[in-house]
Amino acid sequence: MLDTVGPELQVVNKSEKAISLEADATVILTPDEGQEASSNLLPINFDGLSKAVKKGDTIFIGQYLFTGSETTSVWLEVSEVQGNDVVCVIKNTATLTGALFTLHASQVRIELPTLSDKDKEVISSWGVKNKIDFLSLSYTRHAEDVRHAREFLSKQGDLYQTQIFAKIENIEGLNHFDEILQEADGIILSRGNLGIDLPPEKVFLFQKAALYKCNVAGKPAVVTRVVDSMTDNLRPTRAEATDVANAVLDGSDAILLGAETLRGLYPVETISTVGKICAEVNSVS
């Protein structure tokens, strides 16, 4: 499976120095990538943010997608727009470390293509070379996104049979879920991003409804972000263990691990633990 990047916004920290952000202070998001990232200024890789957001909008920034940790990721609230820059109030104290951080503007449409030029380049080279079986289409927002990706794959020789799994990651994709399900070969419920676009009390409702619709349509459904704590810990929390079990009971066909196995300290133990929970549920249900 090849996972596309899609219209993902990023904060660029060329110096890779740690950036300390203090609650109630202000920080400016600027499209001028020549600027150095600091506690007062964060360069981003998109020049249209100032046209997409408005006062009061919520922006989330974190490394390795969204850990949810309030010490390594930060919530911002837009206070004003100044030309191409966006001035934000910092809602929680955090320290950002690394070269790149993902930026997500909650319930804001970003005018970028779902399948980027970079995605097409990787598919045409690495994807063709490895004859990928599945394409994970990040930030799928409309059925047309799936049709466009399928048309592109059909022109890549052996990839004409590659199946497309649409990743539902924001409110726009959620609003067009039924039409996306009809076009896609499968669905990936990207709960990390959805947990930012949706209030926490609404996430489980979407999960149950989406899995039910996938089961009725006879199309595989995949759930993500189940044992985040195992990135740094040998055992999951009780809530996470129950979450995995409930995903299986709800009708999920697969569990997709991310940070836990990409950069986690216990990748083998994570796979073993999640596998045992799934097997136990199947043995009693």
Instruction: State the chain's mean pLDDT as an integer.
Output: 92
pLDDT at res. 124: 96
pLDDT grade for 279, boundaries at 50, 70 and 90: very high
What percentage of the chain reaches a pLDDT higher than 70? 97
What is the tens place of the pLDDT at every residue in 10-25? 998 999 899 999 999 9
Q: Name the CATH superfamily housing domain 7-105.
A: PK beta-barrel domain-like (2.40.33.10)
How many CB atoms neighbour CB 130 within 10 A? 9
Using only the alpha carbons of the chain, give its radius of gyration. Answer: 19
Domain ranges of the chain: 7-105, 117-284
Which distant-in-sequence residues (6+ apart) come within 8 Å of 23 by Cβ? 90, 91, 92, 93
How many CB atoms neighbour CB 196 within 10 A? 21
69 pLDDT more than 60: no
99 pLDDT more than 70: yes
**2-3, strands of its sheet edge to edge:** 2-3, 134-137, 163-168, 186-189, 221-224, 254-256
68 pLDDT more than 60: no
Q: Higher confidence at residue 246 or residue 264?
A: 246
Bridge partner list, 90: 76
For domain 117-284, give its CATH number from 3.40.50.10800, 3.60.20.10, 3.10.129.10, 3.20.20.60: 3.20.20.60
pLDDT at res. 70: 55
Beta-strand ranges (E) seen in 139-270 are 163-168, 186-189, 221-224, 254-256
Bridge partner list, 3: 136
